Amino acid sequence: MATMIPENVETFTTEGEGQFYKFLEVAAKPDSRHITWYTPNIEGKEPDFILFGQNVGLIIFEVKDWMLDQIREANPQYFRLQVGHGIESRKSPFQQARDYLYNLVDKIKADGQLISRDAAHHGNIKIPFHHGVVFPNINKHEWINNGFERVSDSNKIFFWDDLHPSSDICSDTSGKCFQDALEKRFAPQFKFSVTSRELNHLKQLLFPTVKIELPERNNGQTYEKRIERIKILDHHQEVIARKFDGGHRLIVGSPGSGKTLVLVHKAAFL
């Protein structure tokens, strides 16, 4: 499956978020080319999802469980919804996703390590970025027929049609259909590539892990020179460290597999 951070989420804020999580878990193939973050903390804000795809870049998704018959009025800024016996005004999910995107861009720029040095994009983020919306309970055909296409571009939306288990995307085990859907909706503005080191740094930036400084050992003899190396928890170690909550746990692994790193990370997390 695709890399999901965090992995094995037990409780989702909404049913729609759970649906989209499972959709990405199955559809985002090949696995090694996609990373999904669920509700990461970006400067105190929590977008529903951030997806990284090596063909498109970074995409922030806002998921709304709205039903079509709830929507009474819509414009590019706000939607008016029937909630219970009253009408409530809600910020457009596209505007929400765009606002989260600006927070993400500011965070990456402030960090400074994923900034382009190319003349054409000097000083800008070296990864293309986009924003989109997910409507798990709305059919694309109905959305367009009711005129919402005029205020929200349906090409930036994943609908019920896409998330349904029998959809073309979900039925395609190769992942090509998903790739084509992403590139059609979120075509990158420029060519880009990231190294494995840069990708690891992006993971660290969006989902921080504990870093441990370790001295270089010399078969038990005294150290003539202290050499510092940085060890970072890999994704599977992160999952273990964040998953167990209370009670006793036995961490088993071969020498050098990261048992101590997992325990120290858990202690810091608590």
pLDDT digit string (tens) for 17-64? 999 999 999 899 887 789 999 999 898 899 999 999 999 999 999 999
Query: Are both 158 and 74 inside the same structural domain?
Result: yes
pLDDT for 232? 56
153 φ, ψ to 5°?
-65, 115
Interval 197-246: pLDDT, tens:
999 899 888 887 655 555 555 554 444 444 333 455 665 666 666 666 56
Residue 105 has pLDDT above 90, yes or no: yes
Domain presence at residue 197: no
Assess whether 135 and 169 both reside in one domain.
yes
Instruction: Give burial (CB, 10 Å; 0-12/13-18/19+) of 217.
Output: exposed
Say what the pLDDT of residue 172 is: 92
The least confident of 1-5, 10-14, 43-47, 176-180 is 1-5
Number of domains in the chain: 2
The residues that bridge with 45 in the sheet, in sequence order, are 42
- 205 assigned to some structural domain: no
Does any domain span residue 243? yes
| CA 234 – CA 238 distance, rounded (Å) | 6
Residue of 29, 68, 241 whose CA lies nearest to 3: 29
Does residue 12 sit in the same domain as residue 67? yes
Same domain, 244 and 111: no
124 located within any domain: yes
Residues 19 and 116 in one domain: yes
Residue listed under structure tokens 């003349």: 119
The pLDDT of residue 141 is: 93
Together in a domain, 221 and 172: no
The predicted-structure confidence for 128-174, as pLDDT tens digits, reads as follows 999 999 999 999 999 999 999 888 888 999 999 999 999 999 999 89
Mean pLDDT of the chain, nearest integer: 84
Question: In this structure, are 186 and 84 located in the same domain?
Answer: yes
Is 130 within the bounds of a domain?
yes
For residue 102, the enclosing domain spans: 3-190
pLDDT band, residue 260 (cuts 50/70/90): confident
Tell me: do 92 and 15 sit in the same domain. Answer: yes
CA distances from 83 to 19, 76, 91, 164 (A): 22, 20, 14, 25
Give the per-residue pLDDT at 49. 96
What region, left, alpha or beta, does residue 135 occupy, with left being phi > 0 and alpha being psi -120 to 50 degrees? beta
151 shares its domain with 98? yes
Is 201 a member of any domain? no
Q: Are residues 215 and 185 in the same domain?
A: no
pTM, two decimal places: 0.77
Residues 23 and 156 in one domain: yes
* Residues 31 and 112 placed together within one structural domain of the fold: yes
